[in-house]
Chain A
Amino acid sequence: MRPAFSVLFLTTLIGSGQGLLIALVTAQFFFVIGAGKGGESGAFYAVGSALALVLLGLGLVASFFHLANPQRGWRAAARWRTSWLSREVILIPAVCGLTLLYAGVHWLDWRPVLVVFANGKALDLPMAVGFAAAAVSLLLFVCTGMIYACVKFIRQWASIWTVVNYLLMGLASGFALAAAYAGLMDSVLRDFLVADALALTLLGMATRLYQIRRNGHARLRSSLKTAIGTHHPQIRQITQGFMGQSFNTIEFTAPGGAETIRGLTVFFTLAGFAAPSLLLAVSLGGTGAMLLVVAALCQYGGLLAERWVFFAAGNHVQNLYYQAKA
């Protein structure tokens, strides 16, 4: 499949935005249950989630570049009953709204207690909004992943691993960003977030590499025999019917071919996972933010390449019909 840059930016940007938001909520929860000493100021969460909002907004802008008729974009909310794309279109503004709310209540330091539990712990408004925002973000990860995982005509995409990887890579990049942010702010959360980011990055690397291995021996369900309904062991296409290009030869192929995919796979494994893991591991327990910022940026670049490979490696069934020009 042709990797469209609008979609690469959309999925990676909202992924890290959602990840960052979930990281902040997790960190807040970490204090609420009393696992960490002290706490963080409302401003810390407010600025952090504003950063997440910026990422989500940039993703949204990128998505509009993907649509040929963006002025009708609102119509895309219509078929949420059947279309994962429609569900995503609804959840992106929902996540943006909840993130704004989360940032707002933290900024205003407005913490009315909503529920007090039997063990004396209380649920205040910022935490409640945070839970809602994190839950919707997780749903959004599922929607984004399912958009690709439910395309059964692309064997490389049509598995649960697509969803798992979208989730883990989004979380990893968001937590890495949160760790860098905590480092810059000299927050007590720094080590907590660095450790989480490290674990998620390693986990994401494992599941992504597993998916690549699995796709290595993926077999197409169709063949030229079923494509043209002729039961002959030896069929070849003489011509696809035209000498130039068509939508079918542009949208469903990637520039560069197998070489580029192999090269970029090595690149994203190093830049997206290995190098950030190393940097995160080294900064664990230390101070300073430089390494963490480098880790987050390097990881984002790597994950962008990962998304390119994800698209380029998808081989659609329709390509059976487009093999020869004459």
Chain B
Amino acid sequence: MTKVQLALVIDLNVCVGCHACVTSCKEWNTSGWAGPLADQNPYGADPTGVFFNRVQTYECGTYPNTETIHFPKSCLHCEEPPCVPVCPTGASYKREEDGIVLVDYDKCIGCKYCSWSCPYGAREFDPIQGVMKKCTLCVDRIYDKTLPEDRRKPACVLACPTSARIFGDINDPDSEAAKAIRDAGGFQLMPEWGTNPANHYLPRRKTTMTLHKDELVRADNPLKIEGELPRPKFNAPSIDDLSSW
């Protein structure tokens, strides 16, 4: 049995781009013991702020043959995280027990070097606290015994109205996450860098239905024409034995 690797599996076929995960993530993580996710100039003309999760939108093809892809993006908790070895202080680390990549805010000196070593732009620097921040997979709630068991999930997963986000141990073949990756063609982002991201995405799927020609008209209509049936003869058999008219 391999090590536990917690991760998110995000179904791009289901995501509707509502940003519920973005706001619930911000809400949960700005209210925790680790201090707020700072916003600067939030109501001004040029706001900035720290988010762990962003939903982006892409379009494929040319009008009218286009397809819209809503694409949530957060730290992918890479199994070979390039951001970890470059950190001079050891503030960035990958947990042995569950594979979550974390930043120790008490050790981080704010040199930003780790953010240069993430190809996904997953890390966001907090200029107020002066430390690097990123998705923690809600490490402060998934193990919280005071919560009912079905609520011990990342805030984004609980918030998603379409259940596009699946949370689980991708190394456990029986987990919902591992099954989804296996059965629905889960893939990793930018495999060319060898980061081996733990988070996976499920591809967009075409939903099609084949209609045969005879299904378009009433099969029991002898004339294959929609409309009034011809009037029967006056003396054709009828229910009251008087007349079919």
Q: Which residues does A use to contact B, with CB under 8 Å?
A: 1, 66-70, 72-73, 75-79, 82-86, 89, 147, 150-154, 221-222, 224, 226-230, 232, 234-242, 244-248, 250-252, 316-319, 321-322, 326
Contact = CB atoms under 8 A, between A and B. Distances in A.
Contacts of A316: 116, 121
A238 B69 CA distance: 9
A252 B187 CA distance: 27
Interface string B59-76: 111100001110101000
Contacts of B90: 75, 78-79
5 contacts: A75-B91, A152-B82, A153-B193, A236-B58, A245-B47
Interface string B30-74: 000000000000000011111100111111111000011101010
Given A76-B109, A83-B88, A151-B117, A69 B131 contact: yes
Contacts of A229: 187-189, 201, 203
A212 B46 CA distance: 34
B8 interface: no
Contacts, number: 172
Given A67-B111, A72-B109, A244-B48, A237 B58 contact: yes
A72 B22 CA distance: 32
Interface string B3-19: 00000000000000001
B192 A241 contact: no
B60 A230 contact: yes
Interface stretch (B122-130, B155-163, B169-177, B213-221): B122-130
A321 to B, nearest CB: 5
A79 B87 contact: yes
A245 B13 CA distance: 28
B115 interface: yes
Which of B121, B125, B192 gathers the greatest number of chain A CB atoms within 10 Å?
Answer: B121
A77 B193 CA distance: 27
B193 A248 contact: no
Contacts of A237: 56-59
Contacts of B131: 68-69
Contacts of B73: 241, 321
Nearest to B91: A75
A284 to B, nearest CB: 42
B107 A75 contact: yes
B189 A228 contact: yes
Q: By DSSP majority rule, is chain B's interface helix, strand, loop, or mixed?
A: loop
Contacts of B82: 152-153
B50 to A, nearest CB: 7
A70 B190 contact: no
Contacts of A236: 58-59
B192 A221 contact: yes
B189 A227 contact: yes
Interface string B144-181: 00000000000000000000000000000000000000
Interface residues of B, number: 61
B143 interface: no
B109 A86 contact: no
Contact of A75 (B68, B89, B116, B117): B89
Contacts of A76: 88-89, 109, 111
Contacts of A72: 89, 107-109
Contacts of B108: 69, 72
A230 B203 contact: yes
Contact of B69 (A70, A75, A228, A321): A228
B179 to A, nearest CB: 19
B48 A154 contact: no
B58 A153 contact: no
B237 interface: no
Given A68-B127, A234-B60, A241-B22, 19 more contacts: A66-B111, A85-B111, A153-B82, A221-B192, A226-B192, A227-B189, A228-B69, A230-B203, A230-B204, A232-B60, A239-B56, A241-B73, A242-B51, A247-B125, A252-B121, A316-B116, A318-B119, A318-B120, A321-B56
B125 A251 contact: yes
A323 to B, nearest CB: 10
A78 B69 CA distance: 43
Contact of B58 (A230, A248, A251): A230
Contacts of B201: 228-229
A152 B123 CA distance: 17
Most chain A beta carbons < 10 A, residue from B73, B117, B123, B190: B190
Contacts of A67: 109-111
Contacts of A147: 113
A321 B60 contact: no
A228 B85 CA distance: 25
